[in-house]
Structure formats: structure tokens, C-alpha cells
């Protein structure tokens, strides 16, 4: 038997760094309406103070706070009303002692005033006179200049992935056009004489192509662009030609399928024949995911990567999540954030894999009322299944990582669950 030399995750990361650390990321500009889900290629700063003028946060009357000190229902103060502030217009009014003016929510506080009294605490006494029956503290109901943010304040950094809750602040910062990293372009090729398209009923010994569709969905959810996916037969020339053509059009070609030893050699042979340096990794010290082939090519105008994923659906998705996704985020999208994780109590022992990092799918559920704080915490139940099974993935909420060299996990232990979507 030929022994497969396997690389640790760290070793693979080192290989990627060697070739990609100096690669310049491509950028493009998108509008504010298109920026959700994209990764920023610029740091975002406030271009002005917000608010840029003293605003009222209530409907009411602008006053000098000192005029209201000590007033009450039984002893109101009477103020001369100078009129109303109009929305969107600068006020030329000046509020002197004993004077006031109406200001709607969002309106500018006129000079001289330093507090707002809500209309609920006001009585209008004719055209030019109001009585106030509640004292107002200085700055009451006023947003002062810069109370929201100050010019030059930094909100987001390069590599941040924009979500819906960021859009308001980007709008407030005047970012109608935003520089983002260009989406890495992928092509997914499935190989296997046993594969049929999902719309086909498999004949005896055939199976539907799961991996290409699953991987494409993951890649797009991450922020990549999947140009196309195709099934090609297990035939070396067709395989090589399809991969060669795909490399011209995209940054990364993902080869899916080929889980048998013959196919693995076949994939390594094809990847090795595409250019230099060629195959940099013949296998990974992870479980699942060992039969992964990684090729890097520096002999094109641009750097190219070809990834041969394991044939088992779960393995291929784990490798995509742990290795390929991390790589694409780091080198194409400028994002090195840790994936979102939550803490849970593991319900069963999980053994460590010998000499490799293991990933165990888990299902999350709410714990019952036991053991102090954990009464309302999460329980993580390992999902066991044969490695070819796909149904378990849809039932999984995430996975726990058991690092190489660790002693495994004990039932009841608190673990970190990386969520999958």
C-alpha cells in the first residue's frame, strides 16, 4: 500500500501563506443597496459629526433650563413663545430669558436654549404665551452635536462582512458607494461515472450529485461567485481538459467526487499535470476530510488553486468549511474573523482521532432545569452516522473541534460549537 502523506491544518495554512500572502486582493465599488454580505475593502470613518446640529428628540418647547427650575403644577412658569422651528431649516431665533419656541422632533434647537420641555408638560395660553409645569434639566431631550458619533470615528475595518444592521451607519457616514473585495470566482466540477443530476432518478448503482450543489451553496453563502457546476465522467483526458478550461475563467476550481483510491490518484495526477508547483498537499490530518488534494499554480497570469475534495458529502463540506472557506475569506475577502461559535454542554464522550484533528457534527437543544446556570443553556448532542450519509448534515446545527493531540471530550464538558448554516 502507498502511504498517503498528510498535512496538518497548520501546515496547509503555511503553504497557502507562502504563495498567497503577497497576492493583492481585487476590489470593486458597489452601491449601498448592494453591499449587504460583501467584505469591505476600505475602513469606514464618520465624515462628519452626527448630529451636525443640536436636535430635539421630542416634540416640545426649547427653553433655558434655568427658567424652569423650581416650577411645578401648582407653580408654573409663563414664557413668551417666539414661534416654531421648521424641519430642515436653520433657525434664526434666539431664546432669551423668559422666552421659548416650538421645536418638532428632529428640529434644530435655537440658540440660547439649552433644554426641551415635552408638549405634554406645556399649556398654550394664546398665541404667544405658554406655561410650563415641570422643570427641565440642562440638555434634557437634546441630542448635542456629535452625541451619536464624531467626525473621524472609525466604525468598520477592511475585511468586515457587511450585514443588514450596518447599513444605517454606512448611510449616516455618507457611504453611497463602498469599496469591497471582489468575489472570488469558483467553478465546481463533479467527477464520477456513478453520478447523475439531481433531477434524474438514479439507476441501479448510480447516485445523485450532492456535493457540487452543496459546495456551491456554501461557497455562495460565504460570499464567493460560483460561475458554473458540471458533472464530467471519470475519463482522464476529459477531466484534465475540463479543469484546464475552468482554471482560465476562475480563481479556484473545486473538484468534487473521486473518493475511491483510484479516483484519488486520478485527481492527483490531473492536478499535478496542470502546471507548477502543482499538488502541494496530498491529504489532510483531519477527520473527516483526509483525502483532500490541493494544487496551487503560479505559472499563470494570476494565482490559481485547484482543490480536490473528498467524495463523501459530509467530508467535502467539512473540508470546505474548515480549509477552503477560511482560505477564501483570508486571501480574497480580507476576513480573518473566527467563525461564530456558541458554548454548549456535550452529552456524550467523543474520542480524539489519533494524530489528527477531528470534527464532530452536533445537534443543539435547550437543556432541562438541572445544574445551576446550565438549566437554560445549550446541549450539544453528537450526530453519529456513516460517513457517506447526508441526512445528518441537515439535522446538525454545528460541529465541535477535537484538536490533534487532545484527550477527547468528556460527557458534560463545556465545548465550543461552530455553527453551520
Label residue 136 exposed, middle or buried (CB < 10 Å: 0-12, 13-18, 19+): buried
Which phi and psi (to 5°) does residue 96 adopt?
-90, 180
Label residue 219 exposed, middle or buried (CB < 10 Å: 0-12, 13-18, 19+): buried
By the rule CB under 8 A, 29 interacts with a copy of itself: no
In this complex, which beta carbon is closest to a copy of itself, that of residue 244 or of residue 364? 364
In this complex, which beta carbon is closest to a copy of itself, that of residue 336 or of residue 416? 416
User: What separation, in Å, do the N-terminal and C-terminal C-alpha atoms of the chain show?
Assistant: 39
Distances, alpha carbon 79 to alpha carbons 76, 86, 137, 239, 365, in Å: 10, 20, 17, 86, 62
By the rule CB under 8 A, 216 interacts with a copy of itself: yes
Among 201, 301, 369, 407, binds a copy of itself (CB under 8 A): 201
By the rule CB under 8 A, 112 interacts with a copy of itself: no
Among 10, 72, 163, 298, binds a copy of itself (CB under 8 A): 163
> Least distance from C-beta 245 to a copy of itself, angstroms?
20
Site for a copy of itself in 44-103 (CB under 8 A): 47-48, 50-53, 55, 57, 59, 86-91
Among 28, 29, 120, 302, binds a copy of itself (CB under 8 A): 120
Site for a copy of itself in 270-299 (CB under 8 A): none
57 and 75 Cβ atoms separated by less than 8 Å = no
> Least distance from C-beta 207 to a copy of itself, angstroms?
7
Among 21, 73, 126, 205, binds a copy of itself (CB under 8 A): 205
d(CA 239, CA 194): 15
Residue 141 in grid coordinates: 431631550
By the rule CB under 8 A, 387 interacts with a copy of itself: yes
In this complex, which beta carbon is closest to a copy of itself, that of residue 22 or of residue 92? 92
In this complex, which beta carbon is closest to a copy of itself, that of residue 304 or of residue 312? 312
By the rule CB under 8 A, 1 interacts with a copy of itself: yes
Distances, alpha carbon 8 to alpha carbons 232, 237, 282, 367, in Å: 30, 31, 11, 35
Among 72, 105, 298, 406, binds a copy of itself (CB under 8 A): 105
55 and 113 Cβ atoms separated by less than 8 Å = no
By the rule CB under 8 A, 372 interacts with a copy of itself: yes
Amino acid at each position: 500500500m502507498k502511504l498517503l502523506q498528510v498535512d496538518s491544518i497548520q501546515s496547509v495554512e503555511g503553504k497557502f501563506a507562502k504563495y498567497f500572502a503577497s497576492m493583492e486582493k481585487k476590489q470593486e465599488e458597489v452601491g449601498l443597496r448592494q453591499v449587504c454580505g460583501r467584505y469591505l475593502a476600505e475602513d469606514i470613518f464618520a465624515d462628519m459629526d452626527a448630529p451636525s446640529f443640536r436636535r430635539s428628540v421630542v416634540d416640545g418647547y426649547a427653553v433655558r433650563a434655568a427658567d424652569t427650575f423650581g416650577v411645578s403644577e401648582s407653580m408654573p412658569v409663563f414664557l413668551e413663545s417666539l414661534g416654531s422651528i421648521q424641519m430642515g431649516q436653520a433657525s434664526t431665533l434666539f431664546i432669551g430669558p423668559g422666552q421659548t419656541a416650538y421645536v418638532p422632533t428632529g428640529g434644530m434647537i435655537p440658540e440660547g436654549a439649552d433644554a426641551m420641555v415635552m408638549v405634554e408638560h406645556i399649556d398654550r395660553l394664546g398665541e404667544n404665551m405658554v406655561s410650563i409645569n415641570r422643570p427641565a434639566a440642562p440638555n434634557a431631550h437634546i441630542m448635542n452635536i456629535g452625541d451619536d458619533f464624531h467626525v473621524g470615528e472609525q466604525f468598520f475595518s477592511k475585511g468586515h462582512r457587511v450585514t443588514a444592521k450596518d447599513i444605517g451607519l454606512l448611510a449616516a457616514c455618507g457611504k453611497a458607494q463602498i469599496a469591497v473585495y471582489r468575489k472570488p470566482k469558483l467553478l465546481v466540477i463533479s467527477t464520477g461515472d456513478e453520478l447523475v443530476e439531481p433531477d434524474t432518478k438514479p439507476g441501479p448503482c448510480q447516485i445523485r450529485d450532492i456535493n457540487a450543489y452543496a459546495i456551491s451553496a456554501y461557497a455562495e453563502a460565504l460570499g464567493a461567485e460560483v460561475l458554473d457546476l458540471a458533472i464530467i465522467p471519470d475519463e482522464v483526458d476529459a477531466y484534465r481538459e475540463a479543469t484546464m478550461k475552468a482554471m482560465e475563467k476562475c480563481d479556484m476550481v473545486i473538484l468534487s467526487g473521486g473518493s475511491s483510491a483510484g479516483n484519488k490518484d486520478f485527481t492527483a495526477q490531473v492536478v499535478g499535470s496542470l502546471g507548477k508547483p502543482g499538488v502541494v498537499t496530498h491529504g489532510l490530518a483531519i477527520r473527516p476530510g483526509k483525502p483532500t488534494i490541493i494544487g496551487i499554480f503560479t505559472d499563470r497570469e494570476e494565482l490559481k488553486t485547484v482543490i480536490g475534495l473528498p467524495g463523501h458529502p459530509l467530508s467535502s463540506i467539512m473540508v470546505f468549511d474548515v480549509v477552503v472557506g477560511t482560505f477564501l475569506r483570508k486571501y480574497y475577502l480580507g476576513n480573518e474573523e473566527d467563525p461564530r461559535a456558541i458554548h454548549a454542554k456535550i452529552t456524550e464522550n467523543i474520542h480524539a482521532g489519533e494524530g489528527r484533528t477531528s470534527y464532530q457534527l452536533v445537534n443543539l437543544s435547550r437543556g432541562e432545569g438541572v445544574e445551576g446556570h446550565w438549566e437554560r443553556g445549550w446541549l450539544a448532542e453528537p450526530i453519529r452516522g456513516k460517513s457517506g450519509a447526508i441526512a445528518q448534515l441537515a439535522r446538525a446545527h454545528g460541529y465541535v473541534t477535537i484538536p490533534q493531540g487532545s484527550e477527547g471530550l468528556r460527557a458534560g464538558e463545556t465545548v465550543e460549537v461552530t455553527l453551520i448554516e
